[in-house]
Structure 1
Amino acid sequence: MSEAVDALARRHLLRADRQEDLCFALWHPSTGQTRTTAVVELLILPREGERNVHGNASFESHYFTRALSEAAQAGAGLALMHSHPGGMAWQGMSPDDINTEQGHAAAAYGATRLPFVGLTMAGDGAWSARFWERTAPRQYARRDCATVRVVGERLRTTFMEALAPVPHGTEAQIRTISAWGKKKQADLARLRVGIIGAGSVGAFIAEGMARTGIEDITVIDFDRIEIKNLDRLLYAKRGNVGALKATALADHLGECATGARFDALPVVAAVYEEVGFCAALDCDVLFSCVDRPWGRHVLNLIAYAHLIPVIDGGISVRTNRHEELAAADWRAHTVTVGHQCMQCMGQYDAGLVQLEREGYLDDPTYIQGLEKGHPLKARENVFAFSMACASLQTLQMLAMVLDPLGRSNPGKQLYHFVGSFMEPSEHGKCSPECLSSIAARGDHCGFEVTGAPPANRDPVVKKLPTETPSLFQRISRALKHLFIG
């Protein structure tokens, strides 16, 4: 859920008199390859006489009927939130809690065709959650979620340790853990991080994540390694020429990771293809390391509709008429609800998305016809500049998760190599007509952003079969990752 929804729930559920309270909420599904997330959009607060607070809170039937009607009209699922003000961290369920949620699961499913979701807020603001899934006619079973994520200025995650156990720190992580402590390291290590683009910037970020102790990394890229990549791909050697970037990088990460239970999943697809899109929805944080408008357009939607933070960046290099370096700039920013989106900050041109879908951006004739200096003609991923841009993006992610001294949002950062200075950080806002209407709508956002790759995409990769997880990987990931956020 967003920080705004979380804040409203705190104000309502954590009462000054320390009694329990409750409310309903609307949620939308976000369906990945191996996990389903309930994205909580808004609360349906009780009116006078709709609930009773008497130590243990209860609700009247007409409150449930009203909430159910609103969920059905919105095409959303229904969730019940209640508080355990005396508890801390992930909360278990009392027999009364179970009877209440299970007893209303059939009506909720019948009206919405989606599972009834239950959420509990502890006194410290930690969430726990579960789906009530239909297993047979009139039978509903509880399925606990592995995590609950609150997304905004920072990323705050509550873990169910039975499904997402605390990772064991390793000897290789001693220096890392000493910087921010075991608890923050455990929060970091249990995130699933997606690297969208296994090029020069993505390679630096992915290796940084693996060495920091992240135990679950997904690499999404459709391309192959070429000779011209060797001056900037950290993981590539001459023997890798011709290999798939996603697979080669995932193999490399396995050799340098410090986590005790490390898993790197290569997905040979673009994020705008269905398999790549669904793999991205399985992640908690995404790094945008793409340089084309369609990929950024997809990630922009994911950041808002599915509430998955996207750490984006970019490099711009300019030479003068003597072919001397005149400017080299790189930027980084976090894209999520409450932050400015990539389109509004000018990271991609929406008008070029359809051109890419139709294959024009892979047409040499079209590219050659563009004016000199057009961004689509740029070839700017110089090793040193990519390393610096990756560093800024990595620090943006760490600030969001670690929240050092309560300063989790660095804002938009822009560094100028020529002149050696960083511009003051900016915190821009989107226009009201931008993506606010689809925030937290998940699969129900109403936009179809995926599609087949352009017909004239490089034939060396165009006809490659997409690699998918093994049966064992799919089962283990499905057991680990049923989320709400």
Structure 2
Amino acid sequence: MNPSTNLTITYADHRKLRDHLFPGDGLEAAAILLCARTPGPRVRLLVKQVLLVPHSACKERRSDYLVWPGSAIEEAFDLAEADGLSLVLTHSHPGGLFGFSRHDDRSDLLTVPSLFQALGGLHGTAIMTPDGAMLARLYRQDMSPIPIESVMVAGDDLTWHWADRKFSPRPTAFTSEATQELGRLSACVIGVSGTGSLVAEQLARLGFGQVILIDFDKIEPRNLNRIVNSTLADAKAQRSKVVAFAEAVTSYRGEGVAVPVNASISTREAVLCASQTDVMFSCVDTLDARQIADLLAASFLIPLFDVGVSIPTRKAQRGAAIADVCGRIDYVHPGGPTLQDRGVYDPASLRAEYLRRTAPDAHREEMQAGYLRGVTEEAPAVIALNMRAASACVMEFIARAHPFRHESNAAYARTQFSLAANEEDFFPVESFPTTTIPQFARGDLEPLLGLPALRAPRSEAIA
């Protein structure tokens, strides 16, 4: 069963918070997390800003006791009001107690009602222990608590702090305990075709509690040589890729694990489904779909793994020859360099793709090129290349969720391989610029992702 409640914070904000809460004097300290939210049904709080409460502003600081300054909370009110953000009042437990004390309970009863009076919405409190572990809870208007089941810290590594402490210390990669932890998480695969079906197959068999599959296309006979789990009967019936794949997953994982979304990622339906997940895999072949994945990752603080393959050709005496056989895997952590920052797409390439798509002759030419650039091939035999890239993509996730590398994961923001040259190159996160984007931790603010086309229908907005 996937956790229904979660708080996600970037590694940069988590480090900033931890440094402030544990200044080295052994006394409690305070901060306020300003959080956006994902659309329902899942409750996910997204830390948009960390407001540090100056140590000198606290009326009293002890090793097990803290008195908050009212001015800090009033400042948070002003910052949160415009976008309807939730406030999570956070303090440290220098002694290491991973739990809320009786004093914490009494303090919440006095302080949290003022948050409802000023802002409405959902608000709560959190504590942090010296090792960086966090425990959080929300409150309903009647002050009954809503436990936050997990706190995810998303950076070069991916860490989950579980309220029940089930996986502390963190599980070792490739163990049954790691599989059990994945059973509490959800993944989204955008594009369930040649590479995407192989990624989704691995995620389902690794044990993810839920795998959301997003693709609008149908299975055709020419797909059968590269879409895993597809059958001749599926192609003859022109079945939806995601529905057919979900049925295959159900046959070995049971009901409810695979969730098919038969829609384009550019639709509101697909964006809403993707927003519910813990980690996202982009296995698409268009730039506009990658842009949507990029915006999803930023808006909902979802770690993103993007994979692509290509087989460039060159002119030869007898037609065309293979110039290279290559692939790329990019890992984008919330707050880090986006796919656009890395040059995967830009406004010019997006416009060019749009023009090709809307010009029938050019579009036909592009589709004929397919995997093999410059060669017309209706059913390219690329499953071996897709498998190589899909495996590298999923291994990149494992390396970050349950680290096993001999050096920092920061050195592997991008992996590129050339099978023709037998080379593999790695690029550290510092290789790319990081720009500030307005969609960061945008959450459920309308229109979704900041795109007018994804605005809620009038009937939904009124409801």
Q: TM-score, normalised by structure 2?
A: 0.83
Shift of the alpha carbon at 1:423? 2.4
Q: Check if 1:35 corresponds to 2:42.
A: yes
1:386 is paired with a residue of what secondary structure? helix
Shift of the alpha carbon at 1:203? 1.1
Partner Cα distance (2:112, 2:355) in 1: 47
Partner Cα distance (2:189, 2:367) in 1: 32
In structure 1, which of residues 261, 268, 272 is the aligned counterpart of residue 262 of structure 2? 268
> Is the 8 Å Cα contact of residues 274 and 450 (structure 1) preserved in structure 2?
no
Shift of the alpha carbon at 1:277? 0.5
Give the aligned partner of residue 204 of structure 1.
198
> Is the 8 Å Cα contact of residues 286 and 308 (structure 1) preserved in structure 2?
yes
> Is the 8 Å Cα contact of residues 439 and 450 (structure 2) preserved in structure 1?
no
Shift of the alpha carbon at 1:254? 2.5
Alignment-mate amino acid for residue 36 of structure 1: V
Partner Cα distance (1:179, 1:154) in 2: 13
Shift of the alpha carbon at 1:73? 5.3
Q: Aligned pair in 2 of structure 1 residues 428, 235: CA closer, same or farther (>3 Å)?
A: farther
Partner Cα distance (1:442, 1:376) in 2: 39
Shift of the alpha carbon at 1:276? 0.7
Give the aligned partner of residue 322 of structure 2.
325
Task: Map residues 49-448 of structure 1 onto 2, 5 A cutoff.
Answer: 49-54=57-62, 55-72=64-81, 75-87=84-96, 91-134=98-141, 139-161=142-164, 180-241=174-235, 242-257=238-253, 263-321=257-315, 322-351=319-348, 353=350, 361=357, 364-368=360-364, 382-404=382-404, 405=406, 407-409=408-410, 410-428=412-430, 430-431=432-433, 434-444=435-445, 447-448=449-450
Shift of the alpha carbon at 1:179? 5.7
> Is the 8 Å Cα contact of residues 210 and 256 (structure 1) preserved in structure 2?
no
> Is the 8 Å Cα contact of residues 28 and 39 (structure 1) preserved in structure 2?
yes
Give the aligned partner of residue 14 of structure 1.
22
> Is the 8 Å Cα contact of residues 51 and 63 (structure 1) preserved in structure 2?
no
Partner Cα distance (1:329, 1:149) in 2: 33
Shift of the alpha carbon at 1:219? 1.0
Question: Gaps (5+ residues) in structure 2?
Answer: 1-8, 455-463
Question: Gaps (5+ residues) in structure 1?
Answer: 167-176, 453-485
Alignment-mate amino acid for residue 27 of structure 2: Q
2:57 is paired with a residue of what secondary structure? coil
> Is the 8 Å Cα contact of residues 83 and 445 (structure 2) preserved in structure 1?
no
> Is the 8 Å Cα contact of residues 28 and 76 (structure 1) preserved in structure 2?
yes
- The C-alpha deviation readout for 1:274-307, integer Å capped at 9, x for no partner, is 1110111111110001111221111111222321
Shift of the alpha carbon at 1:207? 1.2
Alignment-mate amino acid for residue 248 of structure 1: A
> Is the 8 Å Cα contact of residues 298 and 449 (structure 1) preserved in structure 2?
no
Q: Aligned pair in 2 of structure 1 residues 381, 79: CA closer, same or farther (>3 Å)?
A: farther
- The C-alpha deviation readout for 1:374-411, integer Å capped at 9, x for no partner, is 99978778211111110111111111101225633422
Give the aligned partner of residue 461 of structure 1.
none
Task: Please identify, of 199-208 and 340-349, the stretch whose mean Cα deviation from structure 2 is larger.
Answer: 340-349
Alignment-mate amino acid for residue 228 of structure 2: L
Q: Aligned pair in 2 of structure 1 residues 377, 133: CA closer, same or farther (>3 Å)?
A: farther
Alignment-mate amino acid for residue 130 of structure 1: R
2:429 is paired with a residue of what secondary structure? coil
Shift of the alpha carbon at 1:370? 6.8
Q: Aligned pair in 2 of structure 1 residues 406, 10: CA closer, same or farther (>3 Å)?
A: farther
- The C-alpha deviation readout for 1:441-480, integer Å capped at 9, x for no partner, is 333497433747xxxxxxxxxxxxxxxxxxxxxxxxxxxx
Aligned residues between the structures: 429
1:201 is paired with a residue of what secondary structure? helix
Shift of the alpha carbon at 1:62? 2.6
> Is the 8 Å Cα contact of residues 343 and 350 (structure 1) preserved in structure 2?
no
> Is the 8 Å Cα contact of residues 211 and 257 (structure 2) preserved in structure 1?
yes
Shift of the alpha carbon at 1:268? 1.4
Alignment-mate amino acid for residue 129 of structure 2: A
Alignment-mate amino acid for residue 308 of structure 1: I
Partner Cα distance (2:284, 2:16) in 1: 36
- The C-alpha deviation readout for 1:298-333, integer Å capped at 9, x for no partner, is 111122232101100111212233232222110101
- The C-alpha deviation readout for 1:243-283, integer Å capped at 9, x for no partner, is 111111112122344xx997111111122211110111111
1:78 is paired with a residue of what secondary structure? strand
Q: Which has the higher contact order (CA 8 A, sep 6+)?
A: 1
Alignment-mate amino acid for residue 336 of structure 2: H
Shift of the alpha carbon at 1:415? 0.7
> Is the 8 Å Cα contact of residues 329 and 392 (structure 2) preserved in structure 1?
yes
- The C-alpha deviation readout for 1:5-42, integer Å capped at 9, x for no partner, is 111111122353433322212111222x5313111122
Q: TM-score, normalised by structure 1?
A: 0.79
Identity within the alignment, %? 24
> Is the 8 Å Cα contact of residues 312 and 373 (structure 2) preserved in structure 1?
no
Partner Cα distance (1:254, 1:181) in 2: 23
Give the aligned partner of residue 32 of structure 2.
24
